[in-house]
Chain A
Amino acid sequence: MIEVSQYNKLYGDFRAVHDLSFTVAPGDVLGLVGPNGAGKTSTLRALAGILQPTSGTIRVNGIDLVAHPVEAKRHLAFIPDEPQLFEYLTVVEHLRFMARLYRVRDADARIDPLLVELELDAKRDALPTELSRGMKQKLAIACGLLHDPVALMLDEPLTGLDPVGIRRMKATIAARARAGSAVILSSHLLHLVQELCTRLLVIRRGERVAYGTIAEIVAERPELAGMSLEDMFIALTGTDPHSADPATRVDASADAAHATTEQIAARNE
Chain B
Amino acid sequence: MSTRATASALTYLWLTSARNRVLAQKAQLRQPRYVVAMLLGGLYLWFVVQANGNPESSPFTQINTNGAGETVVAAVLLLLSARWWLSKPDRTALAFTPAEVHLLFPAPISRRELVQSKLVRGQLAILLNVLIWVVLLRGSGASIEGWQRGIALWILFSTFTLHRLAAALVRLSAAQNSRAGRKRAAVPVLVFVAMFGTIAALLWQARPAITSSWVYGFGTVLGTVHDALQHPAARIVLAPVQALVAPVFATSGTAWLWSLGPALLVLLLHFMWVVRTDAAFEEAALEASQERAKAIASLSGKQLSAKRSKGGSVARILPIPRFGHPAIMIAWKNHAAALRGGGWLRQLAIFIVVFAGSLLALQASVGMPFEAVLSITVIWGFMLLLLGPVWTRFDLRLDLRDLGTIRTLPLSGRSIVSAEIVGVSILHSITIFALLMVPVVFAIFDESTRSSALDLLGAPWPAAVTVLLLVPMFNLLTFTVQNGLALLYPAWVQLGTDRRGFEAMGQTMLTFGITLLVAAVALVFPVLIGLAMAFIGRMWWGPWSVPVATAIALAIVLAELIPIWMALGSVFEKTEPGDVPGQKT
Q: Are B314 and A96 in contact (CB under 8 A)?
A: no
A78 sits at the interface (CB 8 A): yes
Task: Tell me which residues across on chain B come within 8 A of A249, comparing CB atoms.
Answer: none
With a cutoff of 8 Å between Cβ atoms, the chain A residues found around residue B212 in the complex are none
Q: Mark B320-346, 1 if CB is under 8 A from A, else 0.
A: 110000100100110011011100000
In the assembled complex, how far is the CB of residue B405 from the closest CB belonging to chain A, in whole angstroms? 4
Chain A CB within 8 A of B576 CB: yes
Which of B77-85, B282-290, B407-415, B427-435 interfaces with chain A? B407-415
Count of chain A residues with a beta carbon within 8 Å of a chain B beta carbon: 32
Number of A-B pairs whose CB atoms are under 8 Å?
Answer: 84
Q: Which of A48, A70, A88, A96 sits near B412, CB closer than 8 Å?
A: A70
**A114 CB, nearest partner CB in chain B, Å:** 17
Q: Tell me, yes or no, whether A69 is within 8 Å of chain B by CB.
A: yes
Q: Flag whether B504 is at the interface (Cβ < 8 A).
A: no
Asked if residues A97 and B314 are in contact (CB atoms below 8 Å), the reply is no
CB pair A80–B404 under 8 Å, yes or no, is yes
Q: Are B573 and A69 in contact (CB under 8 A)?
A: yes
Give how many B residues have a beta carbon under 8 Å from the other chain's beta carbons: 35
Q: Are B410 and A84 in contact (CB under 8 A)?
A: no
Chain B hits for A100, CB < 8 A: 320-321, 326, 329
B405 touching A88, Cβ below 8 Å: no
Given contacts A87-B341, A88-B306, A88-B341, contact A49 B407 (CB under 8 A): yes
Q: Per a CB cutoff under 8 Å, which of A52, A78, A89, A101 touches B574?
A: A52
Q: How far is the CA of A70 from the CA of B569 in the complex (A)?
A: 13
Q: How far is the CA of A48 from the CA of B339 in the complex (A)?
A: 30
**Residues of chain B contacted by A88 (CB below 8 angstroms):** 304, 306, 336-337, 339-341
A87 close to B578 (CB less than 8 A): no
- Map CB proximity to A onto B201-239 as digits: 1 under 8 Å, 0 otherwise: 000000000000000000000000000000000000000
Cβ of B80 to closest chain A Cβ, rounded Å: 28
Is the C-beta of A127 less than 8 angstroms from some C-beta in chain B? Answer: yes
Q: Does A216 contact B (CB under 8 A)?
A: no
Cross-chain contact A73 with B409 (CB below 8 angstroms): yes
B262 proximity list for chain A (CB < 8 A): none
Give the Cβ gap from A211 to chain B, nearest Cβ, in Å.
Answer: 25
A84 contacts B336, CB within 8 Å? Answer: no
Given the contacts A52-B574, A89-B333, A127-B314, A103 and B404 also touching, CB distance less than 8 Å: no
- Residues from chain A with Cβ under 8 Å of B409 in the complex: 73, 101
Contact B404 A84 (CB under 8 A): yes
- Report the bound CA distance from A197 to B576 in whole Å: 30
In chain A between 51 and 75, which residues have their CB closer than 8 angstroms to a CB of chain B? 51-52, 69-71, 73-74
Cβ-defined partner of B333 (8 Å) among A71, A84, A86, A90: A86
* A102 part of interface (Cβ distance < 8 Å): yes
The answer, yes or no, to whether B584 is at the interface (CB within 8 Å) is yes
Contact B314 A50 (CB under 8 A): no
A87 and B306 in contact, given A97-B333, A100-B326 (Cβ under 8 angstroms): yes
**A93 in the interface (beta carbon within 8 A):** yes
Within the complex, the shortest CB–CB distance from B408 to chain A, in Å, comes to 5
**A220 located at the interface, meaning its Cβ lies under 8 Å from any Cβ of chain B in the complex:** no
B16 to chain A, nearest CB (A): 22
Q: Is A19 an interface residue (CB 8 A)?
A: no
Bound together, the chains give a CA A80 to CA B302 distance in angstroms of 22
Is the pair A50, B305 in contact by a Cβ cutoff of 8 Å?
Answer: no
Known contacts A51-B576, A89-B333, A97-B320, A84 near B412 by CB under 8 Å = no
Some 27 contacts from A to B, beta carbons below 8 A apart, are A45-B404, A45-B577, A48-B407, A49-B407, A50-B407, A51-B576, A51-B577, A52-B573, A52-B574, A52-B576, A74-B410, A78-B408, A80-B585, A86-B336, A86-B337, A87-B302, A87-B304, A88-B339, A93-B336, A97-B320, A97-B332, A97-B333, A101-B329, A101-B410, A125-B314, A127-B306, A127-B308
Interface residues, chain B, CB within 8 Å of chain A?
A: 302, 304-306, 308, 314, 317, 320-321, 326, 329, 332-333, 336-337, 339-341, 402-405, 407-412, 573-574, 576-578, 584-585
- In the A-B complex, the 3 residue pairs with the smallest Cβ-Cβ separation, listed nearest first, are A73-B410, A88-B340, A88-B306
| Chain A residues in the interface with B (C-beta under 8 A) | 11, 45, 48-52, 69-71, 73-74, 76, 78, 80, 82, 84, 86-90, 93, 96-97, 100-103, 125, 127, 129
Q: A49-B408, A84-B405, A93-B336 are in contact. List 4 more A-B contacts (CB 8 A).
A: A82-B584, A87-B337, A87-B341, A93-B317
